Amino acid sequence: MAAEKGTISLIKADVGGYPGHSQVHQELIKRAEECLEEAKGKGLLIDYRVMRCGDDLELLMTHRQGTNNETIHKLAWDTFLACTEVAKRLKLYGAGQDLLVDAFSGTVKGMGPGVAELEFVERPSEPFIAFMGDKTSPGAWNLPVFRIFADPFNSSGLIIDPKMHAGFTFDVLDVKKNSAITLACPEEMYDLLMFLGAYDRYMIRAIHRRADGEIAAVASTDKLSLIAGKYVGKDDPVLLVRTQAGFPAQGEVLEAFAFPHLVEGWMRGSHCGPLMPVSFHQANPTRFDGPPRVIAAGFQLAYGQLVGPVDLFDDPAYDETRRMASRIADYMRRHGPFQPHRLPLEEMEYTTMPQIMARLADRFKSLG
Ligand code: F6R
Ligand code: MG
Ligand code: MG
pLDDT score of 10 more than 90? yes
* Pairing, β 276-277 against β 293-302: parallel
Radius of gyration over every alpha carbon of the chain, rounded to an integer in angstroms: 20
Residue scoring higher pLDDT (112 or 316): 316
Task: For CA atoms 21, 307, 160, 170, give the dihedral sign.
Answer: negative
Within 8 A by CB and 6+ apart from 330, the residues are none
What's the whole-number mean pLDDT along residues 30-41? 98
Residue 242 has pLDDT above 80, yes or no: yes
Beta strands of 167-288 (E only): which ranges?
A: 168-174, 179-185, 202-209, 215-219, 238-242, 262-265, 271-274, 276-277
Q: Which residue has the least CA distance to atom 13 on ligand 1?
A: 268
Considering only 7-11, 44-48, 223-227, which range has the smallest mean pLDDT? 223-227
Of all protein residues, the one whose alpha carbon is nearest to atom 15 of ligand 1 is 94
Q: How far is the CA of 110 from the centre of ligand 2 (A)?
A: 18
- Residue 111 has a pLDDT of 78
Kindly give the interhelix angle for 70-89 and 26-41, rounded to the nearest 10 degrees: 150
pLDDT tier at 58, thresholds 50, 70, 90: very high
Q: Is the pLDDT confidence value at 232 over 60?
A: no
Read off the pTM. Answer: 0.96
Give the residue, out of 91, 266, 268, 275, with the most ligand 1 atoms within 8 A of its beta carbon, to mutate for a pocket test: 268
Work out which ligand 1 atom sits closest to the CA atom of 93. Answer: 15
pLDDT digits (tens, 9 = 90+) for 162-212: 999 999 999 999 988 889 999 999 999 999 999 999 999 999 999 999 999
Q: What is the pLDDT of residue 2?
A: 45
pLDDT tens string 15-28: 999 999 999 999 99
**What sign does the dihedral 147-151-155-157 (CA atoms) show?**
positive
Determine the distance separating the centroid of ligand 3 and the alpha carbon of 150, expressed in angstroms.
Answer: 29
Q: Which of 337, 259, 339 is nearest to 294 (CA)?
A: 259
User: Measured in angstroms, how far is the CA atom of residue 302 from the centroid of ligand 3?
Assistant: 30
* Ligand 2 centroid from CA 141, angstroms: 20
Question: What's the pLDDT score for residue 1?
Answer: 44
Cβ atoms of residues 276 and 165 within 8 Å: no
Confidence category of residue 224, pLDDT binned at 50, 70, 90: low
What spacing in Å lies between the alpha carbon of 333 and ligand 1's midpoint?
16
Which ligand is closest to the CA of 289, given by its number? 1
Ligand nearest to the CA of 16: 2
Q: Is 178 exposed, middle or buried (0-12, 13-18, 19+ CB in 10 A)?
A: middle
Give the span between the Cα atoms of 40 and 161, in whole angstroms.
38
Taking the CA of 349 as reference, the closest ligand is 1
* Ligand 1 nearest-atom number relative to CA 20: 11
Helix (H, G, I), strand (E, B) or coil at 318: helix
Q: Is the pLDDT confidence value at 142 over 70? A: yes
How far apart are the C-alpha atoms of 227 and 245, rounded to whole Å? Answer: 37
Confidence bin at 233 (pLDDT 50/70/90): low
User: How many angstroms separate the first and last alpha carbons of the chain?
Assistant: 69
The backbone torsions φ and ψ at residue 230, rounded to the nearest 5 degrees and listed phi first, read: -95, -65
Classified as helix, coil or strand, 214 is coil
Catalytic residues, which ones? Answer: 14, 231, 234
Residue 22 makes CB contacts below 8 A (sequence gap 6+) with 54, 55, 284, 285, 286, 289
Per-residue pLDDT, averaged over 97-116, amounts to 83
Query: What residue ranges line ligand 1, CB within 6 angstroms?
Result: 20-21, 94, 135, 265, 267-269, 289
Angle between helices 189-196 and 142-150 (to 10 degrees): 170
Atom of ligand 1 nearest to the CA of 285: 9
